[in-house]
Amino acid sequence: MIIVMKHGAGQREIEAVEKVLRDHQLGVHISNGSAATIIGVIGDKSALAGVNLEMMDGVDKCVPIMHSYKLASREICPEGRTVSVGDAVIGGKRLAMMAGPCAVESEEQIMEAAAGVKKAGAQFLRGGAYKPRTSPYAFQGMEDEGFKMLRQAADATGLKVVSEVIAEDQMDTAAKYCDMFQIGARNMQNFRLLKAVGRSGVPVLLKRGIASTIEEWLDAAEYIMSEGNYNVVLCERGIRTFETATRNTLDISAVPVIKERSCLPIIVDPSHAAGKSAYIQSLSLAAAACGADGLIIEVHPCPKCAMSDAKQQLTPAQYAELFAEVRRVAQAVGREV
């Protein structure tokens, strides 16, 4: 449920409502919008039986939230959230541009990738150190060594690190090297992992599951947020459909749907959606045009030598060209890169 305060309700009135909620063992989430303050009630609202909140001073109305996710809903924060990662803000006017190889493969490779994506204008360096692969015989990543290399390359170039975590017991080590944790598509419903990244407090990039509905995806975000970590950014990376021309089908509709239903920023990963480098630029432009808050794109100094996802990675030069085109579309829709 949300409690909408009257326009001009004062701090005393807001605090009085908050006290009633806390006295009933409920969690409180306050969103100070330009039109009104909205108080989100977190927990079992049957605890409020017999309490008439609408009679309290300053309260306009109480509105139930009809979805299973609450903190991730649009109702609780109608203005939308931004997520800060150091001095980078995701969800504001500027698109978050994340790029780098599928996997960290060597010091030289990640340094070259970092230098290339930085030069093009990216703010975040991506790269998998832990690779949950479909086949157990495929390259599984350089693990903690990979994290160290990522951190070094990012520090040398002034980028932020976003990298995947795959296990609950990794949080402390991973937090030493990453500015943002990625939860991969295969782990979107690994609920213990979601809770662990929630407790870590580190900003999270939550990829959509390969065959997950938007509602399941928002429920996954809710797992993270219910542990007190509101720094969640959603990432549409394509879903499995009957179509085989692309690796997955980019569900571009997810962008406006998420904007309507959720307060969380959403970025798009055209690389894993398309699976082919030739389609990445078109899909990136579509994402920028329809309101995505950023892009995460695979870039490798030598795509054809890549140990994973070779077909979909761009060269740094191709990325620079894409970046310039995205800038033009972003400007056309009132955003910037």
Part in contact with Mn ion (CB under 5 A); list of ranges 86-94, 96-104, 227-235, 279-287: 96-104
**Does the protein bind ligand PEP through residue 100 (CB under 6 A)?**
no
Beta bridge partners of 161: 125
**Residue of 102, 185, 194, 221 interacting with Mn ion (CB under 5 A):** 102
**Does the protein bind ligand PEP through residue 237 (CB under 6 A)?**
yes
- Given the complex with Mn ion, which of 40 and 100 has the nearer CB atom? 100
**Residue of 39, 72, 102, 218 interacting with ligand PEP (CB under 6 A):** 102
Encoded tokens for 271? 């690389």
Q: Where are the alpha helices (DSSP H) in the chain?
A: 11-23, 107-120, 143-157, 171-177, 191-200, 214-225, 254-261, 270-274, 280-289, 316-332
Contact partner at residue 184 from Mn ion, ligand PEP, none, CB < 5 to 8 Å by partner kind: ligand PEP
**Does the protein bind Mn ion through residue 105 (CB under 5 A)?**
no
Q: For residues 146 and 130, what is the distance between their CA atoms, to the nearest angstrom?
A: 8
Site residues (CB under 5 A) for Mn ion, limited to 270-309: 309
CA distances in angstroms from 212 to 105, 185, 232, 295, listed in the order given = 30, 9, 17, 20
Quote the least distance from Cβ 250 to Mn ion, whole Å. Answer: 15
Contact partner at residue 185 from ligand PEP, Mn ion, none, CB < 5 to 8 Å by partner kind: ligand PEP
Q: For residues 276 and 270, what is the distance between their CA atoms, to the nearest angstrom?
A: 9
**Does the protein bind ligand PEP through residue 184 (CB under 6 A)?**
yes
Quote the least distance from Cβ 269 to Mn ion, whole Å. Answer: 9
Site residues (CB under 6 A) for ligand PEP, limited to 60-99: none
Part in contact with ligand PEP (CB under 6 A); list of ranges 63-71, 82-90, 149-157, 184-192: 184-192
Reduced to 3 states (helix: H, G, I; strand: E, B; else coil), residue 204 is strand
DSSP 249: B
User: Taking a C-beta distance cutoff of 8 angstroms, is the pair 199, 226 a contact?
Assistant: no
Sequence-distant (6+) residues with CB within 8 A of 277 are: 303, 311, 312, 313, 314, 318
Quote the least distance from Cβ 300 to ligand PEP, whole Å. Answer: 12
Site residues (CB under 6 A) for ligand PEP, limited to 203-222: 207
Encoded tokens for 150? 């990522």
- Given the complex with ligand PEP, which of 52 and 134 has the nearer CB atom? 134
Which residue's beta carbon is nearest to the bound ligand PEP?
A: 184
Contact partner at residue 40 from Mn ion, ligand PEP, none, CB < 5 to 8 Å by partner kind: none
Sequence-distant (6+) residues with CB within 8 A of 313 are: 101, 102, 271, 277, 298, 299, 300, 303, 306
Q: How many CA atoms lie within 13 A of 167 on its CB side?
A: 9
Q: What mask, x for binding ligand PEP by CB under 6 A, covers residues 115 to 154?
A: -------------x--------------------------
Contact partner at residue 237 from ligand PEP, Mn ion, none, CB < 5 to 8 Å by partner kind: ligand PEP
Quote the least distance from Cβ 308 to Mn ion, whole Å. Answer: 6
Contact partner at residue 329 from ligand PEP, Mn ion, none, CB < 5 to 8 Å by partner kind: none
Of 323, 297, 293, the residue nearest 85 (C-alpha): 293
**Does the protein bind ligand PEP through residue 272 (CB under 6 A)?**
yes
User: Taking a C-beta distance cutoff of 8 angstroms, is the pair 253, 101 a contact?
Assistant: no
Sites of contact with ligand PEP (CB under 6 A): 102, 128, 184-186, 207, 237, 272
Q: Which residues bind Mn ion (CB under 5 A)?
A: 102, 309
